[in-house]
Every structure is written in C-alpha cells, then in structure tokens.
C-alpha cells in the first residue's frame, strides 16, 4: 500500500521528542508519522487516534513491528481530551495533526473522495457516520448547498452549481461522483470547468461538511494546547487555506498578551500567553518532496511550544 507522509522529518523534528515523553498522533492514518515518533521512544508512550478501521488495521501491523509503546484509540480527534482522560492521561509532551486525506483513502474509489474515478458518493472518514456525500447532495436545500460550496470550497459559481444540483435531483437522485461532476460541468460550462476546476472545490466542500472538519479543528486545538506540559509542542500540517487560517488564528490568539491587560505593569498569569510560535511563517514542503509526491504541494506546517 503506497502512502507518503507529508513533511515527515520537519513535523517530527518540530515535536522535539524526548524518549520518555507522552505523545499523541491525532491523525494516525496509515502510520507514517506514528512510526517515526515510536522509533524515538524508549520508556515513553504514543497514543494514536483514528476513525478509519482500514487505516487502523494497517497501521497497527506496521507499528507492532517497531515496539509496543503505543495505544490506538478508535475515535475522532475532537474527543482527544476525554478519551485520554479515560485512560488517566492528563498531560502530554507533544501532539501531531496531519489534516490531509491519506493516499490510500483517495485512491480507494469506493470511498468516493475523488472526482477522478466513478464511485458512490460517500466521503466518510468514519463509516459509522450517518451523513454521506449522497445524503448532502440529495437533501440539503439550494441555499445550504450554495453556502457550503462558497464557504468550504471558496467557489464563486456556488449558487449556479447548487441550483443545477437541485433541479437535477428532482428527476432522479444523484448517486455517483461521475454524475455530480457532470452536473458541475453542465452548470458552469466547459470553458470555466476546464480552466478553474470547480469540481475540486465542490468535492472539498462536501467532504468538509460530511466530516465536520473545520468545526472539529476549531474545537480540538484549544484542548490540545491545554493538554501540553511546559515545553510540549504541537505540529499541525494543513492542506488548504481554510484549515491554515483556523490554525494561524488560534495560535496567534494564544501566543499574545490579552488586549484587556496589555500595558499593565504586572500582568495576571491567566492573561499571559500560553504558547510561543516556533515558526512565524508556515514551513513549506521542499521541491524534492513536491516532485516525489505532488499531493504535498499545498501543505503548510505550523509549530508551537507551551510556555
């Protein structure tokens, strides 16, 4: 199974791993980042989260060949704090988030993540999730569809595409990725379609909605910061501007002194910054990496440390 871990060295180096530390890989996937963390642990322990059963099975086999200092938690990382509390973990030394889809998820056409192959409209990371891409496309109102296409896909023809989807589904339900791609092309015209690839943005928007990706990210980052020991670090790899904006804003807010108390001779501890930025500007993948894996092209890495 071919899987390429994006910015592997940069993100792991950024965690500054101590051999006896407690670490979390919030996005286990096929185990690329987890493997590298595990290799650096002697008496430490790694907790890896995922909600994709196939990925967990594969990663477990891979990690078990390194050592036994790991635990896989079958859950969305939004439940990070409570899942760790259940097993008595109140503080950690580092956490990694790789927010991209893994190559095997994209390449498995039955999952419906890609517009390049015909498949059922699914797009669920967690197969027990009731909401699928098919449900959204066939049940959301024109206004709801238009909103998610505009907000999550940043697609300027979102209203026209939503209108066409709604008029098409009155004739018959939209079941496959190919049907959806054809509707998008028909609504925008071939010139716009071939030049701006709105299908990319629409598929991204639907996937974000199916998996509540941005909502989950906003909720989990403050929890992750609270869990860190002093000197503990977070590495976050994002793949589009919406994710990166959320990470940047939360990290900025938590690394600055609250405006309410700025300029006071003595600042109460609860208003002091919780974190410092390790890199002010995001780290980007090297040209070599982009050549080896074109999917890493849009990736950005941000790292912070608890103070």
* Domain harbouring 267, CATH code: 3.40.50.150
247-264 average pLDDT score: 90
pLDDT band at residue 152 under the 50/70/90 scheme: very high
300 inside domain: yes
Tell me, yes or no, whether 86 lies in a domain: yes
Which one-letter DSSP state was computed for residue 282?
A: P
For residue 182, the domain's CATH number is 1.10.150.170
Distance separating alpha carbons of residues 38 and 96, to the nearest angstrom: 13
Phi, psi of 295 (to 5 degrees): -70, -15
Lowest mean pLDDT among 62-76, 105-119, 193-207, 262-276: 105-119
- Report pLDDT for 45: 98
Q: Are residues 88 and 146 in the same domain?
A: no
Handedness of CA 156, 213, 253, 34 (dihedral sign): negative
Count how many domains the chain has: 2
Same domain, 33 and 154: no
Q: Strands of 70-74's sheet, edge to edge?
A: 70-74, 45-50, 22-25, 92-98, 228-238, 300-306, 275-277
Distance CA 34, CA 5 (A): 10
Query: Do 225 and 246 fall within a single domain?
Result: yes
238: left (phi over 0), alpha (psi -120 to 50) or beta: beta
Task: Please check whether residue 53 lies inside any domain of the structure.
Answer: yes
* Stretch among 80-84, 153-157, 256-260 having the lowest mean pLDDT: 256-260
Could you tell me which residue, 117 or 255, shows the higher pLDDT? 255
Residue-wise pLDDT for 30-81, tens only, equals: 899 999 999 999 999 999 999 888 889 999 999 999 999 999 999 989 999 9
Give the model's pLDDT for residue 101.
65
Residue range 70-126, pLDDT digits in tens: 999 999 899 999 999 999 999 999 999 999 765 445 555 556 556 657 789 998 877
276: in domain? yes
Mean of pLDDT values over 297-307 = 96
In this structure, the answer to whether residues 36 and 93 fall within a common structural domain is: yes
Q: For 234-245, what is each residue's pLDDT tens digit?
A: 999 999 999 999
Chain centroid to CA 275? 21
Domain membership of residue 179 as a residue range: 130-210
How much is the pLDDT for 5?
Answer: 86
pLDDT of residue 236: 98
Burial class of residue 86 (count of CB atoms within 10 Å of its CB; 0-12, 13-18, 19+): exposed
Is residue 272 in some structural domain? yes
């Amino acid at each position: 199974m071919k899987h390429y871990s994006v910015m592997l060295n940069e993100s792991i180096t950024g965690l500054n791993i101590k051999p006896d530390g407690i670490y979390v890989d919030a996005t286990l996937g096929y185990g690329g980042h987890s493997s590298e963390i595990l290799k650096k642990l002697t008496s430490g322990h790694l907790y890896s989260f995922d909600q994709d059963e196939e990925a967990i099975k594969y990663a477990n086999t891979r990690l078990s060949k390194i050592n036994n200092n790991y635990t896989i938690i079958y859950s969305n990382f939004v439940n990070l704090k409570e899942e760790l509390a259940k097993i008595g973990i109140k503080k950690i030394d580092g956490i990694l988030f790789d927010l991209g889809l893994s190559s095997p998820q994209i390449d498995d056409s039955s999952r419906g993540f890609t517009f390049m192959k015909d498949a059922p409209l699914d797009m669920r990371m967690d197969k027990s999730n009731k909401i699928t891409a098919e449900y959204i496309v066939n049940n959301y109102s024109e206004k709801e569809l238009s909103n998610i296409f505009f907000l999550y896909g940043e697609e300027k023809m979102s209203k026209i595409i939503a209108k066409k989807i709604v008029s098409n589904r009155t004739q018959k339900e939209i079941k496959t990725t190919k049907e959806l791609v054809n509707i998008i092309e028909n609504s925008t015209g071939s010139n716009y379609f071939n030049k701006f690839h709105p299908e990319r943005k629409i598929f991204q928007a639907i996937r974000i909605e199916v998996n509540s990706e941005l909502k989950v990210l906003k909720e989990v980052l403050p929890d992750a910061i609270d869990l860190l020991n002093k000197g503990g670090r977070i590495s976050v790899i994002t793949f589009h501007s919406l994710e990166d904006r959320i990470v940047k804003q939360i990290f900025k807010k938590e690394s600055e002194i609250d405006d309410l108390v700025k300029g006071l001779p003595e600042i109460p501890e609860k208003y002091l910054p919780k974190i410092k930025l390790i890199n002010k500007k995001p780290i980007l993948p090297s040209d070599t990496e982009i050549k080896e894996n074109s999917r890493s092209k849009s990736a950005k890495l941000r790292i912070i440390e608890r103070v």
